[in-house]
Amino acid sequence: MEPMAEPGAKEPAPGDLRVVQLFVNSLDIEEGTEQWATPAALSAWLHRHGLIGSRFRLDERDLERARAFRELVRAMALANNGRPISPVKLTELKGELARLRFVVSVDAHGFLHLESAAGGLDQALGRIVAIVSEEMILGRWNRMKACARDVCHWVFYDHSRNRTGTWCSMAICGSRTKVSAYYRRHRRGRSVIQPSTQTR
């Protein structure tokens, strides 16, 4: 189950960006918890979050593709935090975008909206792309960032006024930071006392 609130009492992403945030954070890298354990779990998750109109029967290939797409979106969020998308992932992203189909709708106010023109997993991934595209136009997408630490990469929304937030939450990856610091101090302590121990 996804958390009801963001770790460290962080404010979640606004509007439809919240769905994108939950989509990527369905894998907690540090804790090693996966919400999409099976194709059925993936289908239920996508339906529960409004990314597909009804629960589709998905298979292992769909599950693998959804997980890979999730990491592509995470790479985009990492790029917002100063880590450029690798050429490999950029090629993969272009390939996924090329296989998705879209239509453009217009609402009563005359605004155009990008919508997925497919069903099943393509519908869900297309919806994620549509949200990201609209948020780019609104100027909010670059606030969606992933923690730069490899043990974390949790996606958070940078609510800071100057858009310089670079850390998700100590509640997410702070514990690993503390353990690493303790280990370094412990090693330094041992190196200091070791010579005197050997003279006895």
Residue-wise pLDDT for 42-99, tens only, equals 999 999 999 998 888 999 999 999 999 999 999 999 999 999 999 999 999 999 999 9
Q: Of 172, 174, 151, 158, nearest to 7 (Cα)?
A: 172
**Partners of residue 34 on adjacent β-strands:** 27
Domain that holds residue 34: 7-198
Per residue in 153-166, pLDDT tens?
Answer: 999 999 887 766 65
Give dist(CA 82, CA 129) in Å, integer.
21
The answer to whether residue 118 sits within a structural domain is yes
* Within-domain flag for 1: no
Are 116 and 130 in contact, with CB atoms under 8 Å apart? yes
Q: Phi and psi (nearest 5°) for 155? A: -90, 130
Flag whether 2 is in a domain.
Answer: no
Angle between the N-to-C axes of helices 17-24 and 60-79, in degrees from 0 to 180, rounded to the nearest 10: 110
Structural domains counted in the chain:
1
- pLDDT top residue among 71 and 5: 71
pLDDT at 199: 41
| Phi and psi angles of residue 97, each rounded to the nearest 5 degrees, phi first | -65, -35
Is the confidence at residue 185, as pLDDT, over 60?
Answer: no
The residue type at 161: R
DSSP labels for 102-130? Answer: EEEEE-TTS-EEEEE---HHHHHHHHHHH
Query: Which residues have CB under 8 Å from 173's CB, separation 6+?
Result: 30, 147, 149, 151, 152, 154
What CATH number corresponds to the domain at position 109? 1.10.3300
pLDDT tops 70 at residue 149: yes
Residue 157 lies inside a defined structural domain of this protein:
yes
Residue 177: inside a domain, yes or no? Answer: yes
Report the alpha-carbon distance of residue 158 to residue 142 in Å, rounded.
9
Which pair of structure tokens corresponds to residue 142? 């670059």
